[in-house]
Amino acid sequence: MKTISRKHKFLLAVIAGMLVIWMYALSACSDAGKGAENDVAQLGENQYLVYYLDETGQALTSEVYTAKVADDPIKLAHELWEVMQNPEDGRKHTSTVRRDITIVDTRLSDEVLSVYFTDSYSQLSVEDEVMFRASYVKTMTQLQGIKYVSFYVNEQPLQDAIGNPVGIMLASDFIEDIGSGAYRTWVDLSIYYGNADSDKLAPERITIGYGKEASVERVIIEQLIKGPGEENHIRTVPATLTLLGVKTKDGICYVDFDSVLTDEILPVSPAVTVYSIVNSLCELSNVNKVQISVKSSTNIIFRDTIDLSQPLERSLDIIETSKN
């Protein structure tokens, strides 16, 4: 019978220890992976996410629902509308549908679900209206054949709190996971992209819900870098652009980019690029001017046309006027 030397025993102990550590690491990774997977609902056939208010009442959450109707988007929209009013987990989730919300008609054409409400919709508070709109659009645009949603009140297109038309909405128009803290402020903004002719700015409306520690300015710039959501609009800043810093002080928003802003030339005029940034940031009530810098330098004549050495104000002349 062979004996095992001390050296071999030591090596076996080391190997055994490494195996234990390796198995523990695998287990930890597996648990982490399961946690990540749980954050994203694994939807089966005819399953949809229906959106409600969470326990704080300031942000959206969702429940998985298996629909009874499968192939008719209007009937399915009606079914999900009923489900939106009755969350399964009533202790933690609250419906965004208030008593003032009454739908009188829904119509579907060219992937746009048009929803018609009674005049009582106008009585909703700003917070309730935005949360309902976000939950409805996020729920309904999951349906096959429905890409956009448009709201009407008394047969007239819905307007936001300051009288601007809300227009056609996508799920991506609603950004509600910004910043920490339960308290959430909601604001409707226009993000300015290039028009089809590349010579003017065209607005796209988005709704942002943010916590007290959030930088809404950063979100606006991120949306510009992401690019437009509408097919007839074009990007105004490079997709590879990096935001180095942004802050607002005394009414001036200071925004610093890497050199991609000046090095990469897009097929839009210099004014369209610069004022897409300026006008978008000036949508915020606390921003009157914007100081653009590149790697902390403002000693720049952008594309030999626009002086960036001083803060710039919003330009209304470069915004495309309605063709109606």
Tens digit of each residue's pLDDT, the chain (324 residues): 444 455 444 444 444 443 333 333 333 333 333 333 333 357 888 899 999 998 878 778 899 999 998 789 999 999 999 999 999 887 889 999 998 899 999 999 999 999 999 999 998 888 888 889 989 999 999 999 999 999 999 999 998 766 778 888 888 778 765 444 444 567 788 999 999 999 999 999 888 776 666 678 988 998 899 999 888 999 999 999 999 999 999 999 999 999 999 999 999 999 999 999 999 999 998 999 999 999 999 999 999 999 999 999 999 999 998 755
Q: What is the pLDDT of residues 96-121, one digit of tens each?
A: 999 889 999 999 999 999 999 999 99
Angle at 28 between CA 24 and CA 30, to 5 degrees: 115
* 212 contacts: CB under 8 Å, gap ≥ 6: 179, 180, 181, 183, 185
pLDDT at 213: 61
285-288: list long-range contacts, CB under 8 Å, 24+ apart: 286/248, 286/251, 287/217, 287/248, 287/251, 287/252, 287/253, 288/251, 288/252, 288/313
pLDDT score for 55: 85
Element (H, E) at 8: helix 6-39
- Sorted by sequence, the CB contacts under 8 Å of residue 305 that are 6+ apart come out as 270, 271
- What does the pLDDT read at residue 2? 44
Tokens 């950063």 map to which residue? 218
Interatomic CA distance for residues 169 and 40, integer angstroms: 23
The full set of domain ranges for the chain reads: 47-241
Instruction: Let me know: does 146 contact 108? Beta carbons within 8 Å.
Output: yes
CA dihedral 286, 290, 295, 296 (to 10 degrees): -80
Q: Which of 162, 158, 227 is nearest to 189 (CA)?
A: 162
Look at residue 100 in the predicted model and tell me its pLDDT: 81
Look at residue 214 in the predicted model and tell me its pLDDT: 66
pLDDT for position 299: 96
> How far is it, in rounded angstroms, from Cα 262 to Cα 66?
50
- Nearest alpha carbon to residue 77 among 120, 116, 118: 116
